[in-house]
Structure 1
Amino acid sequence: MHSWEEQMKAELLHIEKKAQRRRLHSIDFLNNSSIIMNGRKLLNLASNNYLGLAGDDRLIEASIRAAREYGAGSTASRLIVGNYSLYEHVETELARWKGTEAALIFNSGYTANVGIISTLVGRNDLVFSDKWNHASIIDGIILSRAEMKRYQHNDLDHLETLLKKAPLHKRKLIVTDTVFSMDGDIAPLKGLVELKEKYGAILMVDEAHSSGVYGERGEGLIHDLRLQEQVDVQMGTFSKALGSFGAYVTGKQWLIDYFVNKMRSFIFTTALPPAVLGSILAAIHIVQQETARRKQLHEYSQYFRKKLSDLGFNIGTSVTQIVPVLIGSNELTVQFSERLQERGIAAVAIRPPTVPEGTARIRFSLMATLTKDELDWAINEIATIGQEMGIIS
């Protein structure tokens, strides 16, 4: 056996001993509230399909129509022959929805964040990143070779202390999630806008978990707080509340042109398949029109958070549709997840390195398409397991 093979197998064993090993599970879609996993029907409380659009017939039909008209694949990057007219139509609708001059679509949230950050800043610049930002943001900073300054989570005072020390001649980028994916809390966007203006920084906001969920027409938390004119770079995804795939950035026309000419993760990748663009377009229209879905999601989220908190579960600082139950121990968290599956609930154990050591948790995420009866049943099952395991009394 080669030494590199022995080293990697030893590393896997070490991960196993820490109860951090991850495995893929076969999933089949059943309906907008349930899945089949390992042959068992489970109520789906683990999905980012917040508005229940992933299984919507209108998105499916739009995908089929686009594939029939444009083909199964885009066949090249957008700067070669992959920039179908459908792309331009979707980006025009996206910019209109977000109220910006222009928009650009990417293949995923990961490639978007890596590309945006590494294009905005370089070796001689500074990036101020919330300590709980998504891994794709961290990887984008590393790839950019800029100096990373991590400020304590949502701590504006700490951020300002770091900004004060920054050399005036250096380009400064502040980047944050809006809704934090593992904790369900939100960034202090108004305070971040004030600091970026005070210190002449660029402000980039990742709306992955708030697009479709907040705003009068689902534009996101930035619009909900009426800060769209003050946030320089708005990034988000279509793969969560919009039920499709891909990501976007919106902003000034010159900025989008700059990305087209400079961003490696955009230039050197094959364009999205037409079927995906068709579903994105349908989702953008539906999200703007069907406000009842957002209202239902917010009502369910508030109800679920209160019930779990009243039962004695530690849900941290969640104020959104993402509701963690903090347990701490990796082993107990895995056991809790397994017990939930045995009772018919899909909810995933989140462990380090995704979250800090000692903060392992079950991450519940809600959908507008659940029924009240399903939610009440799930709460009762969660409570029973919590009591049996001694997590709550």
Structure 2
Amino acid sequence: MANHPISSRISHRLQQLQTDGLLRQRKLAELDKASANNLARTIPNIIDFSHNDYLGLANDPEMIAAIHAGAIKYGVGSKASPLVSGYSEAHLKLEQGLCELTGHEGGLLFCSGFSANQALIKTLFEAGDVIIADKLIHASVIDGVKDSGAALKRYKHNDITHAEQLLNRFPNSALFTESVFSMDGDRAPLDALSNLCKQHNSWLVVDDAHGFGINYEELASNRFNVSRAAVTPQCDIQVITFGKALGCQGACVLASQQIIDYMVAQSRHYIYSTALSPASAHLALTAVNLTQSQPDKASTLFANIAFFRSLCNAKNIALTESITAIQPVIIGDSERTLAIAKALKQQGLQVGAIRPPTVPKGQARLRVTINASHNAEQITQLVDALAVQLPREY
């Protein structure tokens, strides 16, 4: 009904978003040249620097074979919620593999990182609890806190002093951070945060979506051996997603067995949702194993990041201090950011155009993501195009 008051409100807000240059719209994804090399297909002339498949696993032949093998063995769907009959051997093996790798006692699978964060927070926290979070924490954490009724206290981004002040005021709480921040590409000071949380009897909860599968600590210290044995977890709760470096789909909450048992019994997201497909779980375990058995993928990624940054430096293109696959080029103005991204797309170069409210006002940026499938020619092409398209006063 066009004259319904809610329809009128929606229409007004859509128009305002359009006027402000903030209207989000879907775009049909195109396969990139790197995918074409793996899949031997003729595809549109596009080089994708916008996605989060950092290790190039989404089109890896072993991954393609694994999803086929998983579907043959388990079928393509779980067919039920985990507590009815949707929990299979594939799910158990993935949870066990992730626990062995990270050192946590238990794991719980979800269909997305957003639902994993919301389930975690809404199940464990309630009114009277305090959650302390980095200012740039993911939207799923913010929404989860709102739904839980807990109080949210945010500290300045990666500011240890401010975090300590809040922990002094609110001991026996939980502190949330991302390991690698999705829009800035910088890393949280996890060692320092872990020590602070222990001193104040508070949980450290790490959203490891953009960090899991890539050992940036070894990149920072020039030690290139990404294979890791089981370790004592640095945090109390770790949320990982499979849609970034693992190149597939799903998520997992890793924590003590007590926390996992409680979530199985009480999490409405888990109890009332169809389980992640067992074929997807089988695929994710393959991806986890590949990150450990093929360190050359991470080494190639690290080399590509360094090459991109060196070219940008030579062209006087300002970058942040990020050493991760996420390399923001901050423009400032939203319309200009969109225009540059559009011009790059016309040259066959896809980059993310990120605007408020995803990033702070005046911080619109091109979100360039480097992956292990890019080659030197493609990275050079991007940097040359950026040098031409960036505003003169940049």
TM-score after normalising by structure 1: 0.91
The correspondence of residues 1-393 of structure 1 with structure 2, limited to 5 A, is 1-32=3-34, 40-166=44-170, 171-214=172-215, 228-386=232-390, 389-392=391-394
Q: Which stretch of structure 1 is more off in the superposition, 83-92 or 123-132?
A: 83-92
The answer (yes or no) to whether the contact 1:130–1:152 under 8 Å persists in 2 is yes
- The 8 Å contact of residues 41 and 344 in structure 1, kept in 2 or not, is answered as yes
Q: Larger deviation: 87-96 or 147-156?
A: 87-96
Residue 356 of structure 1 deviates from its aligned partner by 0.8
Asked if structure 1 preserves the Cα contact closer than 8 Å seen for 2:191 and 2:234, the reply is no
1:298 Cα deviation after fit: 1.3
Residues 238-283 of structure 1, C-alpha deviations (whole Å, 9 max, x = no match): 1111011001122222222122112221122100122212211211
Greater shift after overlay, 88-97 or 286-295?
88-97
8 Å CA contact retained: 1:59, 1:278: no
| Identical residues among aligned pairs (%) | 34
Distance verdict in 2 for CA 1:74–1:33, change over 3 Å: closer
1-side partners of 2:255 and 2:8: how far apart?
49
- Extract unaligned runs of 5+ from structure 1: none
- Paired residue secondary structure (1:362): strand
Aligned residue identity for 1:26: L
User: Which residue identity lines up with residue 210 of structure 2 in the other structure?
Assistant: H
Conserved in 2, the CA contact under 8 Å of 1:321 and 1:365?
yes
Deviations 1:117-144 (A, max 9, x none): 2222211110000000111111111111
Q: Would the alpha carbon gap of residues 30 and 275 (structure 1) be closer, same or farther in structure 2, given more than 3 Å must change?
A: farther
Aligned residue identity for 2:364: A
* Residues 234 and 249, structure 1, Cα contact 8 Å, conserved in 2: yes
Pairwise CA RMSD of aligned residues?
2.3
Write the distance in 1 (CA, Å) between the matches of 2:313 and 2:283. 37
Tell me the secondary structure at the aligned position of residue 27 of structure 1. coil
Shift of 1:30: 4.5
SS in 2 for 1:279: helix
CA distance in 1, matches of 2:232, 2:178: 15
Query: Could you tell me which amino acid in structure 2 is paired with residue 192 of structure 1?
Result: L
Q: For residues 322 and 25 of structure 1, do their structure 2 counterparts lie closer, same or farther at Cα, with a shift above 3 Å needed? A: same
Q: Distance in 2 between matches of 1:375 and 1:33?
A: 15
Divergent runs of 4+, >4 A: 215-218
Check whether the contact 1:44–1:346 (CA below 8 A) recurs between aligned residues.
yes
Equivalent pair of 2:208/2:239 in contact (CA under 8 Å) = yes
Corresponding residue SS for 2:84: coil
Aligned length: 380
TM-score normalised per structure 2: 0.91
Matches of 1:112 and 1:223, distance apart in 2 = 26
1:307 is displaced (CA, Å) by 2.7
**Residues 327 and 391 of structure 1 are in contact (CA less than 8 Å); yes or no, is this contact kept in structure 2?**
no
8 Å CA contact retained: 2:118, 2:144: yes
Amino acid at match of 1:62: A
- Structure 2 unaligned segments of length 5 or more: list them: 38-42, 220-225
> C-alpha distance in 2, partners of 1:307/1:237?
31
Q: 1:34 to 1:355 in 2, by over 3 A?
A: farther
State whether residues 63 and 277 of structure 1, in contact with CA within 8 Å, keep that contact through their aligned partners in structure 2.
no
CA contact (8 A) 1:206 1:234 kept: yes
1:22 aligned partner, one-letter code: R
**Contact 2:102/2:233 (CA < 8 Å) preserved in 1?**
no
Which whole-Å CA distance do the structure 1 matches of 2:339 and 2:201 have between them? Answer: 48
Shift in Å, 1:177: 0.2
Write out per-residue CA displacement over residues 270-326 of structure 1, whole angstroms, 9 at most, x where no aligned residue: 001222122112111111100011111112112212432443333233221100000
Matched letter for residue 86 of structure 2:
G
Tell me which amino acid in the other structure corresponds to 1:379: V
Counterpart CA distance in 1 for 2:161 and 2:86 is 46
Contact kept, 8 Å, 1:33 with 1:44, in 2: the verdict is no
By how many angstroms is 1:163 displaced? 1.8
- Check whether the contact 2:328–2:366 (CA below 8 A) recurs between aligned residues: yes
Where 1:154 maps in the other structure, the secondary structure is: coil
Confirm or deny: 8 A CA contact 2:330 2:363 kept in the other structure.
Answer: yes
1:215 Cα shift?
6.5
Q: Is the 8 A contact 2:120 2:263 kept in 1?
A: yes
The structure-2 alpha-carbon separation of the partners of 1:227 and 1:235, relative to structure 1 and needing over 3 Å to count, comes to: same
